[in-house]
Amino acid sequence: MILVLTYVVAALILGGYIAWFVYRYRRDQRAKAVESDRAERQFRSAMPSAEPRTTAPDERPPLPTMPSASRAVPTTPAVEPSAPSGVGARTVAAALSGISMPHDLVPLTTIAPRPGVVDQVAFVSRSSVSVIGPLFADELERLGFALTPLDEHTLAAKRGDDNLMVYIHAEPPPSAPEGSVVIEVCVPY
């Protein structure tokens, strides 16, 4: 009798814990969905479709877009060329010096090389595009870059002689983890 009572009490405690865990999980998922929707509305209202976000009187026209890097191409290690004076940063690391990575952005080392660029670095995040995109753009602006949206997922960033192309891949390339967002930053030729 005592053994049966012990099993019943243990089952009630275990069932209560599982119900509590499921409740917390669903509550967190609802909160994330609400936050994602709010951030997406804020992103859409802050990003005009064809006008630059920051203007400068001597700004040159936006850089051309590059073809998508989602094709499977064997990866090769990036070579860091030296920067001639007056040309601007020749590496992404030099251009983004002092950046504070928003949310959970981490480097992605398996991105396919993009033709027509001097240097390329990719970052991956589990956050949604509507959250991580505006945060990354804000960080670029904090570093002094003027941003020009070229399309829904492409930005041209300019600061003095530094020119960058930023590609936001909502659908991850084959080398990225499933369900992630990839932000690719390139220094064009």
Q: What is the mean pLDDT of residues 163-179?
A: 88
* 136 within some domain: yes
* 121 within some domain: yes
- CATH classification at residue 65: 3.30.310
Question: Does 141 score more than 70 pLDDT?
Answer: yes
State the Cα–Cα distance between residues 179 and 65, nearest whole angstrom.
Answer: 25
* 34 within some domain: no
Give the tens place of pLDDT for each residue, 32-64: 878 777 766 665 655 444 444 444 444 444 444
* 36 within some domain: no
- Amino acid residing at 125: S
Q: What is the mean pLDDT of residues 125-137?
A: 89
* 27 within some domain: no
> What's the pLDDT at 145?
96
**Per-residue pLDDT band at 31 (split at 50, 70, 90):** confident
**Domain assignment of residue 151, given as a range:** 47-189
> What's the pLDDT at 54?
47
Neighbours of 14 (CB within 10 A): 10
Beta strands in 49-144 (DSSP E): 106-108, 117-125
Q: What is the mean pLDDT of residues 61-81?
A: 40
> What's the pLDDT at 9?
94
* 21 within some domain: no
pTM: 0.54
**Total domains present in the chain:** 1
* 6 within some domain: no
Q: Could you give the residue ranges of the DSSP H alpha helices within the chain?
A: 2-46, 92-95, 129-142
Q: What is the mean pLDDT of residues 153-172?
A: 92
